[in-house]
């Protein structure tokens, strides 16, 4: 049993793509699942591939922020049962339902609508449960190839070839994870329709107002693409489209007029806009709290751009 491991060293540092596919196939199709946790955890990990420091450490606060967001939206917003037995509450579901009742939070609220201090409090509680039940379990399913961890630490460390692999196949693997999570939830929540769509959208925020205000203060109310100043509300655009990155980082946001935003749709802008965004980030970085740019590097944005294209994002302009 691996779920109660406190420490996991990397089993191999030399890992081929075949070995990784083999472990992923085992994880997706044969590993034992009594709750949805491992899928939710892997989904959160995939949302954080570009939030690691130079040593490829992923801080638990970032990982479990996204894990908590996913579970809040599944459990409270969608009211979905998370274990494989009706008599057996999963502890994460219990924690979240208790918070919702205690603070009388409307059930339709998404995680990003909660007050920031409450979000942080919930993340710390879920982090405790996640450390206990998920990090070792997932580590065991992938045979110790993906990361090393010590529960005393505040981060796990990714195996370099595995991190590259996950970036290279990010879109396929994200979709597979969504599919398996939806399949699990569908089995134990038979009355719900459109489970896959719910899962695919579970990480989406209610709104991006916070980012609009920061960008408008730092860059003014002009469209990043056409340069026009707009009196109307500008859209907050994911430079690398959301469907691909599945996260909301300030360094991947630009302001866009309605017309540019609609025309760009789910595509990436052409290469010269990458340079413009690197400049914008330089400027914004000086004016906001440091954690908005945690682990950001210009090279990371360039790498993300290249991987987005090789993962099938079309180019606009």
Residues 124-143 that bind Zn ion (CB under 5 A): none
- Each residue 22-51 as x (binds Zn ion by CB under 5 A) or -, in order, gives ------------------------------
Q: Which of 24, 96, 185, 257 binds Zn ion (CB under 5 A)?
A: 257
Q: Which is nearer to Zn ion, 99 or 257 (CB)?
A: 257
Cβ nearer to Zn ion, comparing 134 with 215: 215
Structure tokens given for 238 = 């994911």
Residues in contact with Zn ion, total (CB under 5 A)? 5
Shortest spacing between CB 230 and Zn ion, in angstroms: 8
Per CB under 5 A, the list member of 260, 274, 277, 308 interacting with Zn ion is 260
DSSP 203-272: T--S--HHHHHHHHHHH-SB-TTT--B-SSPPEEEESS-HHHH-S--GGGEEEE-HHHHHHHTTSEEPHH
Numbers of helices and strands, H then E, in the chain? 14, 8
Dihedral pair phi/psi, residue 234, rounded to 5° = -80, 150
Query: Is 225 a residue that touches Zn ion (CB under 5 A)?
Result: yes
Please report, for residues 24, 203, 223, the alpha-carbon distance to residue 267 in angstroms, rounded to integers and kept in the order given.
29, 20, 17
Q: Which is nearer to Zn ion, 226 or 279 (CB)?
A: 226
By CB under 5 A, residue 223 contacts Zn ion:
yes
Q: Is 60 in the site for Zn ion (CB under 5 A)?
A: no
Angstrom CA distances, 45 to 113, 198, 276, stand at 22, 19, 29
Residue ranges binding Zn ion (CB under 5 A): 223, 225-226, 257, 260
């Amino acid at each position: 049993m691996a779920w109660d491991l406190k420490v996991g060293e990397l089993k191999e540092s030399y890992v081929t793509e075949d070995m990784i596919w083999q472990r992923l196939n085992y994880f997706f199709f044969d590993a034992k699942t009594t709750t949805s946790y491992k899928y939710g955890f892997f989904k959160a990990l995939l949302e954080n591939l570009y939030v690691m420091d130079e040593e490829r450490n992923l801080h638990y606060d970032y990982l479990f922020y996204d894990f908590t967001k996913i579970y809040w939206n599944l459990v409270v917003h969608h009211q979905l049962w998370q274990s494989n037995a009706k008599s057996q509450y999963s502890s994460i579901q219990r924690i979240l339902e208790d918070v919702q009742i205690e603070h009388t939070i409307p059930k339709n609220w998404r995680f990003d609508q909660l007050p920031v201090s409450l979000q942080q409090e919930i993340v710390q509680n879920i982090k405790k449960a996640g450390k206990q039940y998920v990090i070792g379990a997932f580590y065991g399913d992938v045979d110790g190839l993906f990361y090393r961890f010590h529960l005393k630490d505040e981060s796990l460390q990714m195996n370099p070839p595995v991190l590259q692999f996950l970036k290279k196949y990010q879109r396929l693997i994200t979709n597979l994870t969504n599919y398996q999570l939806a399949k699990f939830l569908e089995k134990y929540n038979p009355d719900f329709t459109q489970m896959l769509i719910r899962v695919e959208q579970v990480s989406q925020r209610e709104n991006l107002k916070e980012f609009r205000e920061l960008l408008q203060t730092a860059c003014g109310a002009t469209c990043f693409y056409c340069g026009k100043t707009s009196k109307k509300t500008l859209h907050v655009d994911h430079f690398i489209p959301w469907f691909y990155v599945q996260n909301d980082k300030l360094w991947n946001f630009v302001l866009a007029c309605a017309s540019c935003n609609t025309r760009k749709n789910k595509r990436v802008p052409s290469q010269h806009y990458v340079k413009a965004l690197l400049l914008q980030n330089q400027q914004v970085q000086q004016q906001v709290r440091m954690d908005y740019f945690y682990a950001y590097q210009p090279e990371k944005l360039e790498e993300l751009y290249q991987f987005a294209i090789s993962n099938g994002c079309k180019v606009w302009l």
